[in-house]
């Protein structure tokens, strides 16, 4: 497998590293707008541990393609990331095949700080039918990046999924394979009085079943939904969200955590 850094407009190679079961790239230089981090030589259907930057948590992901293109975020697109990410003149990137104990462990199946807005074949992946003004700080991917700061909104660490006041807002989390789920924790944004909050919602599972949700006005703690016992679930949707009777029109999702195991 190989890691390469280059600029999309001229494809001039800035740095690269390769290996059989893992690749580590430490390089000196500055990222520029249009820079790409390319992971290639991958095996379809394998789990990998990927660290795209020293300031971003390592991700356990299922990759269904032989190559992954990661666009280095700049300007507005970078506002949902730690300001230290992709910054400075020394960088660290790594990818390796995941260990069996990592794959088989009970874990948060939703977590993926490596997720991108437009990506195919990398899971888990978050998407939605609306994101407030198309801004990075309100993108669906923010709800699975591992950041649970709820007391404000906007730039990191307060990025969230924003629904642009849309009543039919729907969030989808695609696992890319079957998983067994027993617990879901949802952090709703709590920048009161700027924010509203949801009082009800529906979880839809890929097997066609649903579960009605009831929310309270939480601040720092998650809404916990356990005793779920769902098997071989490939995706879930959060939909039919009903706001509280409050003057603010701005409810939002800070984070969703889905706990369970790989389906045997």
Residue 169: which of 86, 241, 250 has the closest Cα? Answer: 241
Largest CA distance in the chain: 57
Which residues of the chain fall short of a pLDDT of 70? none
Q: Which two tokens stand for residue 6?
A: 């280059």
Are 169 and 226 within one domain? yes
Are 54 and 155 within one domain? no
Q: What is the CATH number of the domain that holds 131?
A: 2.60.120.260
Task: Look at residue 11 in the predicted model and tell me its pLDDT.
Answer: 86
Boundary of a domain, candidates 74, 104, 134: 104
155-177 confidence digits (pLDDT tens): 999 999 999 999 999 999 999 99
- Residue 77 — φ and ψ, nearest 5°? -65, -20
User: Which pTM does this prediction carry?
Assistant: 0.96
Before 157, cis peptide (omega within 30)? yes
Do 47 and 61 form a contact (C-beta atoms < 8 A)?
Answer: yes
Task: Look at residue 92 in the predicted model and tell me its pLDDT.
Answer: 98
Distance of alpha carbon 264 from alpha carbon 259, whole angstroms? 15
Are 242 and 162 within one domain? yes
Task: Look at residue 210 in the predicted model and tell me its pLDDT.
Answer: 97
Boundary of a domain, candidates 104, 131, 155: 104
Number of domains in the chain: 2
Task: Look at residue 10 in the predicted model and tell me its pLDDT.
Answer: 87
209-258 confidence digits (pLDDT tens): 999 999 999 899 999 999 999 999 999 999 999 999 999 999 999 999 99
Task: Look at residue 114 in the predicted model and tell me its pLDDT.
Answer: 98
Instruction: Provide the domain limits for residue 175.
Output: 107-262
Residue 100, SS3 per DSSP: helix
Boundary of a domain, candidates 104, 136, 165: 104
Are 35 and 46 within one domain? yes
Are 48 and 167 within one domain? no
Are 93 and 111 within one domain? no
Are 112 and 236 within one domain? yes
Are 231 and 160 within one domain? yes
Are 202 and 133 within one domain? yes
Distance of alpha carbon 116 from alpha carbon 131, whole angstroms? 14
Are 32 and 9 within one domain? yes
- Helices vs strands, H then E, count in the chain: 1, 17
Are 185 and 246 within one domain? yes
CA distances from 51 to 3, 58, 161, 210, 236 (A): 11, 4, 23, 35, 26
Task: Look at residue 256 in the predicted model and tell me its pLDDT.
Answer: 98
Are 123 and 95 within one domain? no
């Amino acid at each position: 497998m190989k890691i390469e850094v280059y600029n999309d407009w001229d494809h001039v190679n800035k740095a690269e590293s390769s290996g059989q079961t893992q690749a580590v790239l430490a390089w000196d230089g500055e990222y520029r707008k249009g820079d790409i981090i390319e992971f290639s030589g991958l095996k379809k259907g394998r789990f990998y541990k990927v660290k795209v930057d020293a300031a971003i948590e390592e991700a356990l992901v299922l990759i269904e393609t032989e190559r992954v293109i990661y666009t280095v975020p700049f300007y507005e697109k970078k506002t949902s990331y730690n300001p230290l990410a992709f910054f400075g003149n020394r960088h660290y990137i790594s990818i390796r095949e995941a260990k069996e104990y990592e794959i088989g462990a009970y874990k948060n199946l939703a977590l993926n700080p490596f997720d991108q807005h437009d990506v195919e074949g990398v899971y888990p992946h978050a998407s939605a039918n609306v994101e407030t003004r198309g801004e990075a700080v309100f993108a669906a991917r923010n709800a699975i990046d591992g950041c649970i700061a709820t007391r404000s909104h906007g730039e990191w660490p307060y990025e969230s999924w924003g629904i642009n006041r849309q009543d039919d807002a729907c969030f989808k989390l695609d696992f890319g394979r079957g998983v067994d789920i027993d617990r879901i924790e949802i952090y709703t944004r709590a920048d009161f009085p700027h924010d509203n909050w949801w009082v009800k919602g529906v979880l839809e599972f890929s097997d066609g079943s649903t579960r009605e949700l009831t929310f309270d006005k939480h601040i720092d703690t998650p809404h916990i939904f356990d005793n779920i016992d769902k098997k071989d679930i490939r995706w879930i949707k959060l939909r039919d969200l009903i706001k509280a009777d409050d003057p603010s029109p701005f409810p939002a999702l800070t984070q969703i955590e889905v706990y369970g195991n790989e389906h045997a």
